[in-house]
Structure formats: C-alpha cells, structure tokens
Amino acid sequence: MASGAVRPALAYIVVYVEDVAKSAACYAAAFGYSVRRIDQSHKWAELDTGSTTIAFTPLHQRETDALTGEVQLPKSPRERGPVEICFDYTDVDAAYRRAVDNGAVPVTPPEQKNWGQKVGYVRDLDGNIVRMGSHVRE
C-alpha cells in the first residue's frame, strides 16, 4: 500500500441469492445471527454480524447485470462457487447441528484438522459453501 494511503474497513459481504427474505431468515436460524433489516422491496437484507455485515440481494440486478454479467450459482452439489463464508464457533459440533437442523445442507461434519482447527462444512439454500470452524490460535 502506498505511503499515506488509508486502508478501508471491510464493510459488507454481499451474497447473491434466489430469495432474499428466505436466505436472511435461514442464516439467522442456522448460524445464530439476527436480521438487522430487510427493505420493503425484499431486494436487500442485512444480518447483525458485527463490524462486517453479511447482506443478501437478488441474483439478478438491473444495475449490474448489463455491466458485469449475471451471477451464476453452483448448478449441482459437485460444483462450488468462488467464495466461501467462514464462521468461528467455540462449539463447532453444536453449531453444525444447529445449522443443519435449520435448513443448511450438510457437506462434511466437523473434524479436527492437522493445523489445529475443527471444521465442518454446509451449503446454504443457494448452494454456497459455509465453513464452520473453531478459531485458529497462532
């Protein structure tokens, strides 16, 4: 970074989804967050996730589709998108069970990794991968 340049704060992670309200409700139930807001048009929702907000918006946006192309979700369980959402939990096993009990699709149950983290994977309603892991201590 150039001398004197200000490093920006990471403000949002935007997840493109089929149904904004349904995805926000699923993430709230499955991962333990509350929905901070859903706009009246149901084209934007935010979770109360701390300093970086997870937001949801429809797959197709007239504002950006013509400029950047349409968002493509994984078409099968054998495909994955280019981004993975990761959450840290103290009790990964309990968090994994909660996620699956509330609509997340199981991928890999939690297991201890050789780098010292316990990790499990699920898919959200739109097929995006969500990693649920313990905090890695350096």
**Residue-range domains of the chain with CATH:** 12-59+82-133 (3.10.180.10)
Interatomic CA distance for residues 83 and 71, integer angstroms = 12
> What are the C-alpha distances in Å from 5 to residues 1, 8, 12?
7, 9, 21
Interatomic CA distance for residues 68 and 57, integer angstroms = 16
Q: What is the pTM for the complete model shown?
A: 0.83
Task: List the chain pLDDT tens, one digit each, 138 residues.
Answer: 566 678 888 899 999 898 999 999 999 999 999 999 999 988 999 999 988 999 998 887 666 656 666 666 677 777 777 788 999 999 999 999 999 999 999 999 999 999 889 999 999 998 899 999 998 876
